[in-house]
Amino acid sequence: NAGVTQTPKFRVLKTGQSMTLLCAQDMNHEYMYWYRQDPGMGLRLIHYSVGEGTTAKGEVPDGYNVSRLKKQNFLLGLESAAPSQTSVYFCASSYSQDSNQPQHFGDGTRLSIL
């Protein structure tokens, strides 16, 4: 009963380094999302995808890129990490954008940029 799986769970980077966060879902969902969560800020949407091969910007997209080459995977990339990107990153997926379809979340990636 995997649901949404995020890898890695923890990572420490130096400023300027790059990395990719992987999100995988096994529910055949069309929609996938990347959020970041910071103390006192709630969850903020970074990017989302409405289907394989599509991506779109959310509320805070700067400094991030995404790709959805396969329906089940949604990758979040940091090309040149900055300390302001220290955060907990959550991936979510849903069957559709329909308000009657819940989003299901992974357990997060905790990223520290030194």
Partner 1 sequence: DAKTTQPPSMDCAEGRAANLPCNHSTISGNEYVYWYRQIHSQGPQYIIHGLKNNETNEMASLIITEDRKSSTLILPHATLRDTAVYYCIVRVVTSYGKLTFGQGTILTVHP
Q: Which is nearer to partner 1, 6 or 85 (CB)?
A: 6
Quote the least distance from Cβ 88 to partner 1, whole Å: 9
Of residues 18 and 96, the one with the C-beta less far from partner 1: 96
1 or 100: whose CB is closer to partner 1? 100
How many whole angstroms separate alpha carbon 42 and alpha carbon 37? Answer: 6
Please, what is the end-to-end C-alpha distance for the chain in angstroms? 35
Interface with partner 1 (CB under 8 A): 4, 31, 33, 42-43, 45, 48, 50, 56, 90, 92, 94, 96-108
Burial class (CB within 10 angstroms; exposed 0-12, middle 13-18, buried 19+) of 39: exposed
Query: How many helices and strands in the chain, by DSSP H and E?
Result: 0, 11
Least CB distance to partner 1 at residue 15 (A): 25
Q: How far is the CB of 98 from partner 1 (least distance, A)?
A: 7
* In the complex, least distance from residue 32 CB atom to partner 1, rounded to whole angstroms: 10
Tell me the two tokens of residue 61. Answer: 């997209």
The answer to whether residues 90 and 46 touch, using CB atoms and an 8 Å cutoff, is: no
